[in-house]
């Protein structure tokens, strides 16, 4: 990330404010609008007539091709910048600032159709990065860049403990007055390690107790392992973001009282919210996806492990991973609204979602459909009295399902195997009784 900062300070491409053609240039007040780019198309810009005045209304210029060679059509992109003297670096989206594209003499860029990234900064403003697309060399387009907001100087960013980078295209800043950590940009956050004595703690780790609120962009795709471990976060909302949660991403956030999983796909790793002792209730919607793996990304292993005050859980998702609510001893009611919710425990006969450690007992009521995997979970648990888990089943309101009974014939004992008596099983949900 320091390389990005050094290159930003080194590549000084300063733009003059471009007044749109429809604006009255006389008596026009200074604009404070967000930075934006106006796109014009130019074919074979190397042969464009020098000195030709270009405006927003002039979409294209045509020149004759030479020696039968067809040049690639490019789009002229002009930037309207606030502040006017900001430093801007433009580069291919699949590259980085090492591949900075040189601006034309008038400050515009000639770009082929495709995706691009930008990095912008100015003295007294927070460095901002983002992406824009040049999609059609035959039509006008518009790209809006996020306006920088007041903060420390660009030169101070590399050493500041209140802002910096947390991914190739993600930047963070901490407002100690509001105790809000804001992430901007797009893509994956870096993974970190346990903050105590670690060589790779999250960059805000020294201020972790000063973080009460987290603001995330919808374009973020990964929250790093141990990113907010033991932080002072009181709540988290994922908005419209679709992302993966690294191992222990929000573990030991002991002031956390609310989790909003938003509307995007959320794929949890191990112990994502373990030991969040202030949580009393949680809703796990259908967009939370666990994939049946034992550990790692997608497993949901120890998802809410040892959340001491957790009393009520509503589960809409399709799968519950291993040991999801282990040692949540205050848990009283868990409601499964999805009849088809599957459990790692039922598939592998291990890693019970309500596992209890040692001599402690997990005792709670499971609410769900009579003919469902939740019901099967309760019946299987009852058949294994050695576990310190006491589950009571209660039919969810409005449930009209019934078991489809199937007789399981007896199996005679042999010298090498134990016999089985005749029994019954539901052919739909697998409940045994």
pLDDT, tens digit, 9 for 90 and up, residues 213-224? 999 999 999 999
Residue 413 has pLDDT above 50, yes or no: yes
Mean pLDDT across the chain: 80
136 or 251: which carries more pLDDT confidence?
Answer: 251
Where residue 97 falls among pLDDT bands split at 50, 70, 90? low
407 or 319: which carries more pLDDT confidence?
Answer: 319
What pLDDT does residue 90 have?
85
128 or 183: which carries more pLDDT confidence?
Answer: 183
Among 35-44, 86-95, 340-349, the range of highest mean pLDDT: 340-349
What average pLDDT does this structure show over 2-14? 44
Residue 362 has pLDDT above 80, yes or no: yes
What average pLDDT does this structure show over 115-140? 68
What pLDDT does residue 127 have?
63
Q: Residue 342 in contact with residue 366, Cβ under 8 Å? A: no
What pLDDT does residue 311 have?
98
359 or 96: which carries more pLDDT confidence?
Answer: 359
Q: Could you give the CA distance from residue 315 to residue 282 in angstroms, rounded to a whole number? A: 9
Q: Could you give the CA distance from residue 256 to residue 236 in angstroms, rounded to a whole number? A: 8
69 or 306: which carries more pLDDT confidence?
Answer: 306
Q: Could you give the CA distance from residue 20 to residue 36 in angstroms, rounded to a whole number? A: 11
What is the DSSP code string of 39-69?
EEEESSGGGSPTT----TT--------STTP
- Among residues 242, 241, 209, the alpha carbon closest in space to that of 228 is found at 209
Q: Residue 247 in contact with residue 225, Cβ under 8 Å? A: yes
What average pLDDT does this structure show over 302-316? 97
What pLDDT does residue 196 have?
78
What average pLDDT does this structure show over 315-337? 98
Q: Which residues pair with 130 in a beta bridge?
A: 118
Q: Could you give the CA distance from residue 408 to residue 427 in angstroms, rounded to a whole number? A: 10
- Among residues 325, 266, 260, 307, the alpha carbon closest in space to that of 290 is found at 266
Lowest mean pLDDT among 55-59, 298-302, 401-405: 55-59
Residue 228 has pLDDT above 50, yes or no: yes
Q: Which residues pair with 163 in a beta bridge?
A: 173
Q: Residue 195 in contact with residue 205, Cβ under 8 Å? A: yes
What average pLDDT does this structure show over 41-61? 43
What average pLDDT does this structure show over 273-291? 98
Classify each residue of 82-105 as buried b or exposed e, where b means 16 or more C-beta atoms within 10 Å of its C-beta: beeebbbbbbeeeebbeebbebee
pLDDT above 90 covers a percentage of the chain that reads 52
Among 75-84, 310-319, 356-365, 394-403, the range of highest mean pLDDT: 310-319
Among 41-50, 158-167, 170-179, the range of highest mean pLDDT: 170-179
Lowest mean pLDDT among 28-37, 91-100, 203-212, 396-405: 28-37
What average pLDDT does this structure show over 62-71? 41
Residue 26 has pLDDT above 90, yes or no: no
83 cis-preceded (ω within 30 degrees of 0): yes
What pLDDT does residue 427 have?
82
What pLDDT does residue 375 have?
94
Residue 312 has pLDDT above 80, yes or no: yes
Rg (Cα) of the chain, in Å, rounded? 29
Residue 119 has pLDDT above 90, yes or no: no
Q: Could you give the CA distance from residue 115 to residue 384 in angstroms, rounded to a whole number? A: 58
What pLDDT does residue 431 have?
80
What pLDDT does residue 14 have?
36
Where residue 315 falls among pLDDT bands split at 50, 70, 90? very high
What pLDDT does residue 137 have?
56
Lowest mean pLDDT among 45-54, 103-112, 247-256, 260-269: 45-54
375 or 156: which carries more pLDDT confidence?
Answer: 375
Residue 22 has pLDDT above 50, yes or no: no
Lowest mean pLDDT among 4-18, 265-279, 300-314: 4-18
Q: Which residues pair with 237 in a beta bridge?
A: 260
Q: Which pairing describes strands 362-368 and 405-408: parallel, antiparallel, or unpaired?
A: unpaired
* 223 Cβ contact list (under 8 Å, min separation 6): 189, 243, 244, 245, 246, 249, 250
What average pLDDT does this structure show over 160-169? 87
Where residue 25 falls among pLDDT bands split at 50, 70, 90? very low
What pLDDT does residue 120 have?
72
Torsion angles phi and psi, residue 138, rounded to 5: -110, 5
């Amino acid at each position: 990330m320091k390389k990005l900062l050094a290159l930003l300070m080194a590549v000084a491409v300063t733009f003059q404010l471009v007044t749109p053609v429809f604006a009255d240039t006389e008596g026009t007040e200074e604009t404070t609008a967000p930075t934006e780019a106006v796109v014009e198309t130019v074919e074979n810009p190397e042969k464009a007539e020098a000195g030709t005045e270009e405006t927003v209304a002039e979409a294209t210029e045509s020149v004759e091709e030479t020696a039968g060679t067809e040049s690639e059509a490019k789009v002229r992109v002009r930037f309207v910048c606030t502040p006017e003297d900001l430093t801007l670096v433009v580069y291919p989206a699949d590259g980085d600032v090492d591949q900075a594209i040189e601006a034309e003499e008038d400050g515009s860029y000639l770009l082929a159709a495709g995706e691009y990234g930008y990095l912008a900064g100015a003295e007294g403003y927070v460095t901002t990065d983002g992406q824009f697309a040049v999609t059609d060399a035959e039509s006008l387009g518009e790209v809006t860049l996020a306006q920088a907001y007041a903060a420390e100087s660009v030169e101070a960013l590399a050493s500041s403990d209140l802002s910096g980078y947390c991914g190739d295209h993600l930047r963070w800043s901490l407002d100690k007055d509001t105790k809000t950590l804001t992430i901007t940009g797009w893509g994956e956050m870096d993974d970190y390690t346990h903050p105590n004595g670690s060589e790779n703690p999250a960059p805000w780790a020294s201020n972790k107790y000063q973080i009460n609120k987290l603001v995330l962009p919808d374009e973020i795709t990964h929250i790093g392992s141990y990113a907010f471990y033991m932080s002072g976060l009181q709540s988290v909302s994922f908005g419209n973001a679709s992302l993966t949660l690294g191992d222990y991403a929000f573990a030991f956030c002991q002031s956390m009282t609310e989790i909003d999983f938003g509307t995007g796909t959320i794929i949890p790793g191990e112990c994502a919210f373990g030991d969040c002792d202030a949580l009393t209730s949680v809703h796990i919607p259908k967009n939370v996806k666990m994939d049946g793996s034992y550990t790692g990304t997608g497993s949901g292993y120890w998802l809410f492990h040892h959340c001491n005050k957790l009393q009520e859980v509503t589960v809409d998702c399709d799968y519950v991973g291993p040991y999801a609510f282990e040692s949540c001893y205050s848990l009283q009611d868990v409601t499964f609204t999805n009849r088809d919710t599957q459990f790692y425990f039922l598939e592998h006969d291990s890693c019970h979602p309500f596992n209890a450690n040692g001599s402690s007992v997990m005792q709670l009521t499971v609410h769900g459909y009579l003919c469902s995997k939740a019901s099967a979970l309760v019946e299987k648990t009852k058949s294994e009295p050695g576990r310190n888990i006491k589950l009571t089943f209660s039919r969810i309101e409005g449930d009209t399902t019934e078991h489809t009974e199937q007789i399981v014939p007896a199996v005679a004992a042999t010298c090498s195997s134990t016999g089985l008596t005749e029994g019954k099983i539901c052919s739909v949900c697998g409940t045994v009784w």
